[in-house]
Amino acid sequence: MSMRAPHQLRQMLGLLVLAGAVLASCGSSSATTTGGYAPAPPSVNSNLAALAFGPVPSNYHPPKPNAFQERILAHKTITYSEYVAALEAARSCAIQELPGLRLPMSKDPYDTAILGLGLSIPSQYTKPVPANAPKGTQPPGTTHVLEQVDNCMYGYAATVNARWIQQQSLSSSQLASEKPAFIACLRSAGVHISSNASYYKIHETIDTRGALDYLNKEQRKEYTDCFKTYSKFVNTLP
C-alpha cells in the first residue's frame, strides 16, 4: 500500500494544470474513460491555480472568471459555502454541456476543507483507439470534452478554488513553527525521518510512492492522523 501525501497532488496540479492535468479527489483516485478506451490523464487533486482537465489544444485560452465567480471573488474572504457553490456551478455547467459526463465530488480524506472532482468520459463522446496506437493515446473526441470541461472550470471555479486553497495555507513563520511538531508526529507513527529534516526531506519522505510501505496498519492510521492534525502545514509545504 502506498502512503501518498495529499500535498504532492496539490504541487503536481500547480505544475501540470496547463500541461494536461486531470482534476480529481485528493485521495488520487484514477479518472478513466469507459468503453475499453485508453485512460484519461492521471488524476490530480483540485487546487492551486485552476481546476483544469487536459490536455487541450495548444492554442486554447482559458476563459476569465464569469460574473458568478466574480461575485464571490469580490469578497475579501471566501466562505466554505461559496467555495462549494463555485465547484457545484462548474460541475453543473460541464454536465449541461456534456450530458452523461460524470464529475463526482468528494472530500479530501486528510483535510475535509478541501473538495475534489473526479472525471469519467462516457463512450458516446469518443471513438475506439486503433489497436496499434501508441500507449496512452487518448480516444478521438476526448480533447473536445476536456476543453469544454476546462471552460466551465475556469469560468465558474478556478480562481475561487485558488483563493480558497490559499486561505487554508500557513504563513512562513507559522509553517516553521509547526514543522517540529509535524516531524515529531511522523516519528511517533514510525516514519523514518530525522527530527531536524528539511522541507525537501519531508517532501521526499512522504511523497515517494511506496516509501512508507514498511509501516504497519496501526502506524498507517497514526500517519494519516498526522495529516489530519497538520493539514494546513501539509497544504503549505514549499
Question: pLDDT at position 30, please?
Answer: 29
> Which single residue is written with the C-alpha cell 483540485?
46
pLDDT digits (tens, 9 = 90+) for 142-185: 778 888 888 899 999 989 988 888 888 788 899 999 999 999 99
46, pLDDT greater than 50: no
User: Burial, 24: exposed, middle or buried (Cβ in 10 Å; 0-12, 13-18, 19+)?
Assistant: buried
- Structure confidence at residue 17 (pLDDT): 28
Tell me the C-alpha distance between 194 and 215, whole Å.
16
pTM for the full predicted model: 0.61
End-to-end Cα, the chain, rounded Å:
26
Strands 105-107 and 43-45 come out as unpaired
With a cut of 90, say whether residue 1 has pLDDT above it: no
Which residues touch 40 (CB under 8 Å, ≥6 apart)? 22, 31, 32, 33, 53, 119, 121, 138, 142, 146
Distance CA 140, CA 172 (A): 46
Assess contact for 170 and 179: CB atoms under 8 A.
no
Instruction: Please tell me the predicted confidence (pLDDT) of residue 137.
Output: 72
> What are the residue boundaries of the structural domains of the chain, listed by start?
6-167, 172-236
Cα–Cα distances in angstroms (integers) from residue 179 to residues 5, 183, 192, in the given order: 16, 6, 16
